[in-house]
Amino acid sequence: MSSTRLVSLLGLGFGDCGKGLFTDYLCRQWGAHTVVRFNGGAQAGHNVVLPDGRHHTFAQFGAGSFVPGTVTLLAFPVIVHPGALLVEDAYLRRAGVDGALRRILIDGRCRVTTPYHQAAGRMRELQRGAQAHGSCGVGVGETAGHGIDHPDQIIHYADLVRPALAMAKLEGMRRTLRTDFGERCAEPANQDAYAAELSVLDDAGMAARWLEQVAQLTRQAPPASRAQVAQRLHLPGCVLFEGAQGVLLDEWRGFHPHTTWSSIGPASVEAVALDAGQHGRIEHLGILRSYMTRHGNGPLPTHDARLDHLPEPHNASDGWQGRFRRGHPDALLLRYALRVAGPLDGLLVSHLDVFGREPHLRWCGGYQDDDAAGDLCTRDPVSGRIDAILPGAAHDLAHQERLGHLLARARAYYAGEPVADASAFVAQLEALTGLPVLFGSHGPTHATMRILKPLSEPHPML
């Protein structure tokens, strides 16, 4: 049996479920030596608050970086934003974490977000106006799309130590992206912001300045080979795979077009492990809040403005994503997330302290909508209410968009009484999912975590 314990942490909602908190806690609880980022890019925002008040929002570094010695691995196919990584390192130093760049491995095959991708992605979102998809504005989706359309122009992390090659690719992508945009924004109210981003695509000198800046990164964190990645994933001890975003934002299983450009479930974790020749069993743990949340546009059937008083010190309604919304727990979306994610070993729940402040949270047990087609949902035979939503065939974005339209207009039906307290919520959650709730947080720091139930088959290392 392998002496390496592999555990993935997967969000089951629209993000903001507590992945940072649980990653930090489990690095301490299980002594994890490595946190692997296996999907997404710099658009992650995983908050960790320490008992002494220090705080950091982790975007690219693993959320275990406050724990001395814990290494971050940015595995292929993560999309790396070098400039943002340098900025994040500076913020970590202010929070008392020195040498984070000496504790990071970046797979040389990772695609790289450039200033041109970031500018182009923002301009596309500005053009959409009220129909904005909910971009984080850091260029992850633009990088992924550009790589599909123009694979010869995409920069990989290993290219950054070959300046001539990188410069040629940068100029090619700048010219290609510039042809996509005119001088005027389709949304006149966004013209000034649009013009500022357009000036980046018009700046031929940007490439040389950017390469000089990111050389600071490659000197401290040179591109890692596939063999180095494999060696790290075979070290004895615990490896945590920290997912970004949530399953309901998955590029193929989320509700198009309000999705992210990455796949989030267990299959993505297993692909990274297998690429490194690591065939050990992976324990997959799903993470959710005690209530629903969502940034920006996109459906949230249980949204309730009366929940806006719930504190969110690290989730504002400004910035590129837009308004932060809160909603009641949703049994249909949870069952959908579990269905598309695949088998899990257990659940982790954050924000269980909410029941001391909000006595009226209720489970949504169905949707009311008379027009939903039969291939999108099933209905309760007695009430006629929708009791489940159905994913489409693989890569059927038209089906996922239709699901999004259904969820946007559906009216939530709340069965039973409000949830009495955290214990009742956990019991209801286990009954609904058939999964054990292993850990629950009652506050923002690892000191507020409670062990609720041991894993049914504990790893021999424990």
| Annotated binding-site residue? 16 | yes
Closest to 262 measured CA to CA, from 92, 136, 390: 136
Q: Is 441 annotated as a binding residue?
A: yes
**What DSSP designation does 292 have?**
E
365 assigned ligand-binding residue: no
The whole-angstrom separation of Cα 234 and Cα 106 is: 16
Residue 275 is among the residues annotated as catalytic for this protein:
no
Supply the angle between the helices 163-178 and 140-149 in degrees, to the nearest 10.
90
47 marked ligand binding residue: yes
* Residue 314 annotated among the catalytic residues of the structure: no
**Nearest in space to 19 (alpha carbons), one of 42, 45, 39, 38:** 45
| 209 marked as part of a ligand binding site | no
Contact 307, 291 (CB under 8 A): yes
Asked if residue 248 lies in contact with residue 13, where contact means CB atoms within 8 angstroms, the answer is: yes
Residue 411 counted as an annotated binding residue: no
Q: Which helix (H) or strand (E) holds 387?
A: strand 386-389
**24, 33, 46, 56: the active-site residue:** 46
User: What is the H or E stretch that residue 457 is in?
Assistant: none
Selecting among 16, 24, 107, 387, the annotated active-site residue is 16
CA distance 15 to 330: 15
Q: Return the residue matching tokens 């999705």.
A: 259
Q: Is 455 annotated as a binding residue?
A: no
Question: According to the annotation, is 260 in a ligand binding site?
Answer: yes
CB-CB contact of 227 with 238 (8 Å): no
Q: What does the block give as tokens for 257?
A: 């077009």
297 is in an annotated binding site: no
Q: Is 182 annotated as a binding residue?
A: no
**Residue 45, annotated as binding a ligand:** yes
Q: Is 315 marked as a binding-site residue?
A: no
Which residue ranges are tagged as binding site for Mg(2+)? 16, 45
Any idea which residues carry the catalytic annotation? 16, 46
Which residue ranges are tagged as binding site? 16, 45-47, 245, 260, 323, 325, 351-353, 441-443
Which residue ranges are tagged as binding site for GTP? 45-47, 325, 351-353, 441-443
